[in-house]
Structure 1
Amino acid sequence: MPIYNKLVRDGILTIIEQDGLRYHAKTLEPQEHLHHIQQKLLEEVQELSATTTTKEAVEELADILELIHAALIRYETSFDELEAVRLTKKQQRGGFEQGIYLIDVEDS
């Protein structure tokens, strides 16, 4: 019997049941849920870094975005609020589109 001990998408238990399998699961408390969202984000980012095709990368990015939406619920923040913060930071510091890689800064 495989042991997972990880956060899964909401529809996974239905899929497991449809496959005629049994499972053990629980609903996490809000703080525990947030912790596992954070852990799952790390997992998904590692999976993104291992992708070799655009299709795989987009699949992992979709998982990351879904986790961001779940985290926003736990932080009691909307996606619009997140987007406003993103745009403010982009206006103040720029984005990451140009691929600038800082090597060092000379001390004065």
Structure 2
Amino acid sequence: MKIYNKLVRDRIPEIIKEDGKECETEIVRGIEKQELLEKKLLEEVQEYIEDKNLEELADIMEVLFGLANELGYNEEELLKKRADKLVDRGGFKEGIVLKQVK
């Protein structure tokens, strides 16, 4: 039996069982959940850096939604904050590198 001890998407245990396998799970909350989400974020960012694809970007977004939820915000609030900052400060589409300010 392989041991993971990592946060997985909500349907993973169900998918494992549908595949005829058994798994052991635990529900975490509070600071433990937040820490595991942060660890998962680093994992997903590393996977994106290695693979550079849309699926990995979607995984990062899902972890961000989970973190927002853990901090008491919902997806809409996170997306609204992103939109507000986009209007106020812009995005990262242009590739502008600030070299110095005099």
Same fold (TM over 0.5): yes
- Structure 1 residue 73, shift from structure 2 partner: 1.6
* Maintained 8 Å contact 2:7/2:40: yes
- Which structure has the larger Rg over C-alpha atoms? 1
Aligned length: 102
Letter in 1 for 2:41: L
Letter in 2 for 1:4: Y
Which structure has more relative contact order (CA 8 Å, sep 6+)? It is: 1
Q: Which residue of 1 aligns with 2:3?
A: 3
Calculate the TM-score normalised by the size of structure 2.
0.85
Stretches of 4+ moved more than 3 A in 1? none
Q: Which runs of 5+ in 2 are unaligned?
A: none
Root-mean-square deviation (Å): 1.8
Per-residue deviation at 1:70? 1.5
Counterpart of 1:60, as a letter, is E
CA deviation profile, 1:11-60 (whole Å, cap 9, x unmatched)? 111111122222221000222111111110111011111115xxxx1111
Between the aligned partners of 2:21 and 2:91, the Cα distance in structure 1 is 46
Report percent identity of matched pairs.
Answer: 40
For normalisation by structure 1, the TM-score amounts to 0.81
Distance 2:3 2:75 in 1: 33
Q: Which residue in the other structure is 1:101 paired with?
A: 97
1:71 equivalent in alignment to 2:67? yes
